[in-house]
Amino acid sequence: MELRPIDLTGKRVLIVEDELDNRAVPERVLAFYGAVVHTAEDGVDGLEKLDELHPDLILMDLSMPNMDGWQMLKAVRQNARTASIPVIAVTAHAMQHDRKRVQEAGFDGYVPKPYILTELLEEIERCIQLRTPEQG
């Protein structure tokens, strides 16, 4: 599989995922493309890191212990400082009604697991462009 290059130089990305392997792969790939990547193990950890990092993009699992992705998204959207950060749901909830629920909840993007890396990168590129320079 050939990946087309995308420029993520200096973009801050927060990956919120409870499974180590599901954090490690996108972490390495995004770092390869120049992103500054931080990880969190659940929504509680993610919100703590969000305050200090103010990322350009969040990749988030939906099913996690302590605080799931639905709860974290709600907290992100209710905070004026973080409400405009694009959030992509990266989830095993892969049925058509799951995609609709994700969109209705206010996620900016959706990538079902298991994903094809090119699809994840395309969604990241699309969503990171939602963040205008004056927001960054």
Q: CB neighbours of 132 closer than 8 A, spacing ≥ 6?
A: none
Q: What 3-state DSSP class applies to 87?
A: strand
Helices (H) and strands (E) in the chain, counts: 5, 5
CB 130 within 8 A of CB 86: yes
The per-residue pLDDT of the chain, averaged, comes to 90
CATH architecture label of 12-128: 3-Layer(aba) Sandwich (3.40)
> Which residue is associated with the tokens 């703590």?
48
Q: What ranges do the domains of the chain cover? A: 12-128
User: What would the pLDDT profile of 38-83 be if each residue is shown by its tens digit?
Assistant: 999 999 999 999 989 999 999 999 999 999 999 999 999 999 999 9
pLDDT of residue 131: 67
Q: Over range 100-109, report the average pLDDT.
A: 94
Q: Is the pTM of this model over 0.75?
A: yes
Candidates 56, 67, 65, 71; CA nearest to 15 is 56
In the predicted structure, residue 136 carries a pLDDT above the cut 50? no
